[in-house]
Structure 1
Amino acid sequence: MIGFMQKHKKYLMVIIWISTIAFIGAGFVGWGSYSFSSTSNAVAVVGDIKVSIDKMQREYARLYNIYNQLVGGTLDDEQAKKMGIEEQAINNLIVKALMLNYAYDLGLRVSKEEIIQEITSIEGFQNKGKFDEQIYKQTLKDNQLKPKDFEEGIEEGLLLQKLDALLNIPLTPLEIEALGAAYSMEDLVHIEVINKKDIVFTPKEEEIKKYWENNKDIYQTQRGYEISSIFIPLDSIAVEENALEQYYKDFKNQFLDSNGQIIPFAQAKDKVIEKFRDSQAQKEALKEYISLRKGENQEAKDSTIYEGSDEYGADFINLLSQAKEQETLKPIRVNNKGKEGYITAKVVKIIPSQPQTYEVAKANAKEDYVNAEQIRLLEEKATKQLGAFKGVNIGYIGYGSEVELAGLTKEEASDFIRILTTKKEEKGYILLENKAILYQIFDQRVKNSAIIKENLDFLTQNGTQIKSRLVEIEFLNYLSKTYKVVRKI
Structure 2
Amino acid sequence: MIEWMQKHRKWLVVTIWISAIAFIGAGGVMWGTADYSLGADSVAKVGKISISKSEFSTTYQQAFQMELQKRGGNFDEVQAQSINLQGQVLENLISNALIRNYALELGLRISDEEVMNVIKSIEFFHKDGEFSLESYDNYLSQERVSKREFEEQVRNDLLSQKIFVLLFPNLPQNQFEVPNIATPLEKQALFFALEGVADNVELEVIPASSVSVSVDEASLKKYYEQNAQNYQTTPSYEVLAITTKSAKQPYTDKDLQDFYAKNYIANGENMSDEIKPQVISAYQKQQAKSEALKSTAHLKKANKDSVIDNAQKLVISEDSGEYSEEILNALKSNGVGTTIKPIELGDDFITLKILAKNPPKTKPYDEVRSQISKEYKAKELNQKLTNLAQGRLSTFKGRNVPVRFSITELNQNQNFSIAGFDFYTSMALLQAIYQAKQNPSYAIIGENAFLFRIASQKVLPFSDSQAIDIIASDRKIDSVLNLVSDFLRSKYTIKRYI
Question: When the two structures are superposed, what TM-score results if normalisation uses the length of structure 2?
Answer: 0.50
| Structure 1 partner of 2:405 | 397
| Structure 1 partner of 2:231 | 219
Instruction: Quickly say closer, same or farther: Cα 1:122–1:394, change in 2 above 3 A.
Output: same
Q: In the alignment, is the contact (CA less than 8 A) between 2:244 and 2:291 conserved in 1?
A: yes
| Structure 2 partner of 1:187 | 198
Instruction: Quickly say closer, same or farther: Cα 1:409–1:462, change in 2 above 3 A.
Output: same
Q: CA deviation at 1:227?
A: 0.7
* 1:11-410 to 2 correspondences below 5 Å: 66-67=46-47, 69=49, 124=111, 177-188=188-199, 189=201, 191=203, 200-252=212-264, 265-293=272-300, 295=302, 298-299=308-309, 300-312=311-323, 316-334=327-345, 341-384=348-391, 386=393, 387-391=395-399, 393=401, 395-397=403-405, 403-405=415-417, 410=423
SS in 2 for 1:344: strand
AA matched with 1:284:
E
Work out the CA distance in 2 between the residues paired with 1:295 and 1:450: 76
Q: CA deviation at 1:301?
A: 1.6
SS in 1 for 2:215: coil
SS in 2 for 1:345: strand
Work out the CA distance in 2 between the residues paired with 1:424 and 1:289: 65
Work out the CA distance in 2 between the residues paired with 1:245 and 1:327: 39
Structure 1 residues without counterparts, runs of 5 or longer = 1-12, 17-63, 74-117, 130-160, 254-261, 474-489
SS in 2 for 1:270: helix
Deviation per residue, 1:52-98 (Å, 9 max, x gap): xxxxxxxxxxxx9733536769xxxxxxxxxxxxxxxxxxxxxxxxx
SS in 2 for 1:355: coil
Q: In the alignment, is the contact (CA less than 8 A) between 1:331 and 1:344 conserved in 2?
A: yes
Q: CA deviation at 1:381?
A: 3.7
Work out the CA distance in 1 between the residues paired with 2:481 and 2:242: 51
Q: CA deviation at 1:353?
A: 1.3
Q: Paired residues, what number?
A: 317
Q: CA deviation at 1:246?
A: 3.1
Q: In the alignment, is the contact (CA less than 8 A) between 1:224 and 1:305 conserved in 2?
A: yes
Q: CA deviation at 1:348?
A: 1.5
Instruction: Quickly say closer, same or farther: Cα 1:347–1:460, change in 2 above 3 A.
Output: same
SS in 2 for 1:431: strand
Deviation per residue, 1:246-265 (Å, 9 max, x gap): 33333337xxxxxxxx9963
Work out the CA distance in 1 between the residues paired with 2:318 and 2:298: 26
Instruction: Quickly say closer, same or farther: Cα 1:191–1:249, change in 2 above 3 A.
Output: farther
| Structure 2 partner of 1:482 | none
Deviation per residue, 1:395-418 (Å, 9 max, x gap): 412678564437866555444434
Instruction: Quickly say closer, same or farther: Cα 1:409–1:287, change in 2 above 3 A.
Output: farther
AA matched with 2:46:
I
Instruction: Quickly say closer, same or farther: Cα 1:327–1:245, change in 2 above 3 A.
Output: same
SS in 2 for 1:354: coil
Work out the CA distance in 2 between the residues paired with 1:192 and 1:264: 76
Instruction: Quickly say closer, same or farther: Cα 1:173–1:232, change in 2 above 3 A.
Output: same
Q: In the alignment, is the contact (CA less than 8 A) between 1:196 and 1:375 conserved in 2?
A: no
Work out the CA distance in 1 between the residues paired with 2:390 and 2:436: 16
Instruction: Quickly say closer, same or farther: Cα 1:366–1:317, change in 2 above 3 A.
Output: farther
AA matched with 1:298:
I
Instruction: Quickly say closer, same or farther: Cα 1:374–1:123, change in 2 above 3 A.
Output: closer
Q: CA deviation at 1:231?
A: 1.5
Work out the CA distance in 2 between the residues paired with 1:69 and 1:393: 47
Instruction: Quickly say closer, same or farther: Cα 1:204–1:265, change in 2 above 3 A.
Output: same
SS in 2 for 1:397: coil
Work out the CA distance in 2 between the residues paired with 1:126 and 1:311: 24
Work out the CA distance in 2 between the residues paired with 1:250 and 1:294: 37
Q: CA deviation at 1:204?
A: 0.7
Q: In the alignment, is the contact (CA less than 8 A) between 1:186 and 1:398 conserved in 2?
A: no
Instruction: Quickly say closer, same or farther: Cα 1:231–1:122, change in 2 above 3 A.
Output: closer
SS in 2 for 1:267: coil
Q: CA deviation at 1:229?
A: 0.7
Deviation per residue, 1:171-228 (Å, 9 max, x gap): 8765665444434423334655656598652311111111122222222233221111
Instruction: Quickly say closer, same or farther: Cα 1:331–1:459, change in 2 above 3 A.
Output: same
Q: In the alignment, is the contact (CA less than 8 A) between 1:187 and 1:442 conserved in 2?
A: no
Work out the CA distance in 1 between the residues paired with 2:415 and 2:401: 13
Aligned counterpart in structure 2 of residue 444 of structure 1, from 447, 453, 457: 457
Work out the CA distance in 1 between the residues paired with 2:399 and 2:50: 40
Deviation per residue, 1:4-63 (Å, 9 max, x gap): xxxxxxxxx9xx9xxxxxxxxxxxxxxxxxxxxxxxxxxxxxxxxxxxxxxxxxxxxxxx
Work out the CA distance in 2 between the residues paired with 1:315 and 1:194: 52
Instruction: Quickly say closer, same or farther: Cα 1:272–1:440, change in 2 above 3 A.
Output: farther
Instruction: Quickly say closer, same or farther: Cα 1:251–1:437, change in 2 above 3 A.
Output: farther
Deviation per residue, 1:267-320 (Å, 9 max, x gap): 223333333333333333333235434659933222323334455466644543
Instruction: Quickly say closer, same or farther: Cα 1:448–1:179, change in 2 above 3 A.
Output: same
Instruction: Quickly say closer, same or farther: Cα 1:215–1:68, change in 2 above 3 A.
Output: farther
Q: In the alignment, is the contact (CA less than 8 A) between 1:391 and 1:439 conserved in 2?
A: no
RMSD of aligned Cα (Å): 4.8
Work out the CA distance in 2 between the residues paired with 1:204 and 1:195: 23
Deviating more after overlay: 216-225 vs 275-284: 275-284
Work out the CA distance in 2 between the residues paired with 1:468 and 1:341: 38
Task: State the identity %.
Answer: 21
Instruction: Quickly say closer, same or farther: Cα 1:322–1:193, change in 2 above 3 A.
Output: farther
| Structure 1 partner of 2:438 | 425
1:459 aligned onto 2:439: no
Instruction: Quickly say closer, same or farther: Cα 1:185–1:427, change in 2 above 3 A.
Output: farther
Work out the CA distance in 2 between the residues paired with 1:226 and 1:464: 45
